[in-house]
Amino acid sequence: MKKFLAVGALAAAAILALSGCTDSAAPSGSASPSGSGDAGGEIRDIRVAALPIAETGALWAAIDEGIFEKHGLNVEVVPAQGGANAIPALLSGDIQFAIGQPFGPIRADLQDLGVAIIGNYANSLAEGTDVNAVVVPAGSAITRPADLSGKTVSVNTIGAAGDLTIRKAVDDDGGDSSTIKFVEVAFPDVPAQLDAGTMDAAWAPDPFRGIVVGKGGTSIVAPYQATIPGLTVLTSITTQDLIDNDADLVADYAAAMEEALTFASSNEDAVRAAIATNLKIPAEAAAGITLPTFTWDLSDAGIEKLGALAVSYKYIDAEPDYSRLIQQK
């Protein structure tokens, strides 16, 4: 009852999947006569955009566990590069939900596009080894955040939480973040691009951070932890139109996702197994990945702090209307 696009074909698949093309057997949101869930015995097809990173293991594991089917949903996971990249597909109706950084929805709210965050997904860790970091290859002279001044640093989406928190961390360490050249590189491409020397450092989550460090590289700073400890890594996003016109679907998805994240929190082995399968990495590599705090609760997500930081760095002119942007379901 599930379909996955190969991570190895991320670039091509993302272009097709997020531009309105779909290989779904039934139209998105349609009822299927097979299966039986909480939604009156009908199974509804939905498309959910998610990044091909370790955090998505919670979603993959929950699908394997049958949690979404139990709530009357058949999920097709569509690979995306970031939350902002998925918003056009949300607005066009090509996908119904997205799991991504909150910065895309923040910008969308400021443009009155009708995008809402209906739940959390995962928070970063307030202490210890965090779930993402700026890494440099073996032999790099960069040893601290301030050393990133004047360097080329990759993020998956420019103008979002990654480069924003990196800038804050660099400035707090006495560097000059205005001199950093940020470039956009998809997370799966980070190890190869660092090896090729196309950038000096890269912001990456596991397993890509672990690949770089495993080859002798170094983690320089965990920017979320250094600036807004415990900041949400990924949130659950949809449109106001879907909330208003298909409240049952949104409620079913919210209930399924809340159960999925609760399951993931207490079943790390299942999450790691799903990561190994879907990212095509060895089980021993998945076993060493740092997992986030999986939670549906937005109360400690730090989205308002992120918005305030974005204003201070002039990423946005004003903070969004949080009362309409954040709609906990």
Res 81: pLDDT = 62
Q: How confident is the prediction for the chain on average, in pLDDT?
A: 88
The yes-or-no verdict on residue 30 having pLDDT over 60 is: no
Question: Percent of the chain at pLDDT above 90?
Answer: 83
Please answer whether residues 203 and 156 qualify as being in contact, where contact means their C-beta atoms are separated by less than 8 angstroms.
yes
Summarised one tens digit per residue, pLDDT across range 240-286 is 999 999 999 999 999 999 999 999 999 999 999 999 999 999 999 99
Res 15: pLDDT = 30
The yes-or-no verdict on residue 14 having pLDDT over 70 is: no
Summarised one tens digit per residue, pLDDT across range 31-55 is 333 333 444 579 999 999 998 889 9
Average of per-residue pLDDT across 64-93:
90
Average of per-residue pLDDT across 71-100:
90
The yes-or-no verdict on residue 231 having pLDDT over 80 is: yes
